[in-house]
Structure 1
């Protein structure tokens, strides 16, 4: 069993020329359920504990030819597995979403690599007064992974599942636009991103993991 506590860990949100800083502690776990096998589709539940290994997650980068990003993937893989268990959300699908959102950790879009933002959180296209794009920034890679799972949990669970489901951990954890519509992957279409086919690449990458 995995257990850890972080004291005084900080979360940062990019707002205008300045930063907003919040401090919180991390600890605890969520009850977990096993994940059924089978190909990932839009009808696949995000809820459950994937049996995927760190090596299988990292190998997705090798399969796609992104060898330069393998060291960073190796750093993130255990975090995705650990926090997937804590949130009872499939790590393989979250990993595939991370690969899609970050361009396999090459970034190149609104969010820079040092933001530790692996899911495009807060990157809606809105701009700050100085003309720069808004996005959310996290102090460490682990906090970025926690935010990713907390935001997924907001979509796929009817209620808060643990102490991380709030704006301290996920700065976009507000509003009723993300009301519970089910736990299947397809609910992210038109919601996590405007596209009705947003999950197509996530499905593609998820089915490459371990295959």
Structure 2
């Protein structure tokens, strides 16, 4: 039987500052997760499992290194975290797994079910691919050598979740321990990880389809993930020299990378189980031009926008049924990519759930501040005018061309025209968050995946 690594999210030093994670009331995410982790570990040991607790003073990258340096065949790794959101009504438990891995998805569902059996009062948000996370991927799911999952136990910002985490800590720990025990037993029969061993592992091979043609070389399956020869990245125009975090393995004198990692470079990655084929397509073949350029034409239809929005918030279209249509119309008038504007709205409003700073009644879908520093932000008379203001603000950043329609954006004149033609250049400008552009791009990739474009 393999060993179990368990990490309490946050608490270590990021740079020179200790990262407490979410801070709510008189507690922190790091504090709550450490308390639960310290109940899970001895419970598993009492059942005969070998458990390694990640030291609490490590940064997120040091945590990965610590686990990978000790990993052996058959091990599993879990990080537990809590979430927080500006809307205190948001709650629930999620388990994240590496995208496009059905095996790991089943493991995530196993852990989730075990926790909810012990604590049914927690609401399930489901097993989720890590591509649905804010940044579009989770390093704990991708860069840990053994099979790994990330569990968000609940929302500290929600009073009900916080009460369960604090007052039913023992039950939560038992649920997590149940899930980890089942997962560890399941993994004990899985193919070994690419950790060097005296006897070289033998991985099954898969075909590779690239832009409609079968590639001469084969891919391999490692821990349920498809790996491809690194030479393919060059053929797809992907420069991995600037991405040292992408893990490489050597197998029979060929260097491989996880196929799913190419998704961050706008390469479509899908799997045909019937033919055991990994399918790769350059987005430039599907959506000509730079998909992160704000000025341009979108690629999705109104129906595709509606379906994507509804799949992320069932009630989103109840109040704003015409919003997809408005984004396509208003963006076309000013020459702004409606896909980007729409995805920015999804980031700003959490798929029209909004939060505490801006209400739905304000028709402010871009988080545009009011002139004069009003803490409630700008208010617009209709959804159309709110969308128009966001489109105009995007055009202010991305272009020096004049507006076509009458100015409704209250902050248009404060922007240095044309300073941010690409999504990532909005980071630290439109919002203080230096990963703002990454979050918008993560939603854009999800939109294109749902529409069959990525």
Fold in common (TM above 0.5): yes
Residue 60 of structure 1 aligns with which residue?
A: 308
153 and 138 in structure 1: CA distance in 2 versus 1, 3 angstrom threshold: same
Residue 192 of structure 1 aligns with which residue?
A: 430
Between the aligned partners of 1:155 and 1:174, the Cα distance in structure 2 is 11
Alignment equivalent of 1:49, drawn from 294, 297, 322: 297
Residue 204 of structure 1 aligns with which residue?
A: 442
Alignment equivalent of 1:159, drawn from 401, 409, 413: 401
Higher relative contact order (CA 8 A, sep 6+): 1
More strand by share: 2
Residue 287 of structure 2 aligns with which residue?
A: 37
Unaligned runs of 5+ in 2: 1-285
More helix by share: 2
Q: TM-score, normalised by structure 1?
A: 0.70
> Residue 123 of structure 1: CA displacement?
6.2
> Residue 39 of structure 1: CA displacement?
9.7
The answer as to whether partners of 2:320 and 2:383 remain within 8 angstroms in 1 is no
Alignment equivalent of 2:363, drawn from 116, 129, 135: 116
84 and 37 in structure 1: CA distance in 2 versus 1, 3 angstrom threshold: same
Residue 379 of structure 2 aligns with which residue?
A: 137
> Residue 163 of structure 1: CA displacement?
3.5
Between the aligned partners of 1:150 and 1:160, the Cα distance in structure 2 is 10
How many correspondences in the alignment? 164
Residue 103 of structure 1 aligns with which residue?
A: 350
178 and 193 in structure 1: CA distance in 2 versus 1, 3 angstrom threshold: farther
39 and 208 in structure 1: CA distance in 2 versus 1, 3 angstrom threshold: farther
Task: For residue 174 of structure 1, give the secondary structure of its aligned residue in structure 2.
Answer: helix
User: Which protein has the larger Cα radius of gyration, Structure 1 or Structure 2?
Assistant: 2
Residue 7 of structure 1 aligns with which residue?
A: none
> Residue 207 of structure 1: CA displacement?
1.3
The answer as to whether partners of 1:185 and 1:199 remain within 8 angstroms in 2 is yes
The CA deviation string for residues 50-87 of structure 1, in whole angstroms up to 9 with x for no partner, is 131111111222332x1111334532010000111101
Task: For residue 379 of structure 2, give the secondary structure of its aligned residue in structure 1.
Answer: strand
Task: For residue 138 of structure 1, give the secondary structure of its aligned residue in structure 2.
Answer: coil
Deviates more, 1:53-62 or 1:139-148: 53-62
1:170 counterpart = 2:409: yes
Q: TM-score, normalised by structure 2?
A: 0.34
The answer as to whether partners of 2:327 and 2:338 remain within 8 angstroms in 1 is yes
The CA deviation string for residues 151-188 of structure 1, in whole angstroms up to 9 with x for no partner, is 11100002324243x4xx1011122x534224111221
The answer as to whether partners of 1:111 and 1:123 remain within 8 angstroms in 2 is no
The answer as to whether partners of 1:47 and 1:183 remain within 8 angstroms in 2 is yes
The answer as to whether partners of 1:57 and 1:77 remain within 8 angstroms in 2 is yes
Task: For residue 47 of structure 1, give the secondary structure of its aligned residue in structure 2.
Answer: coil
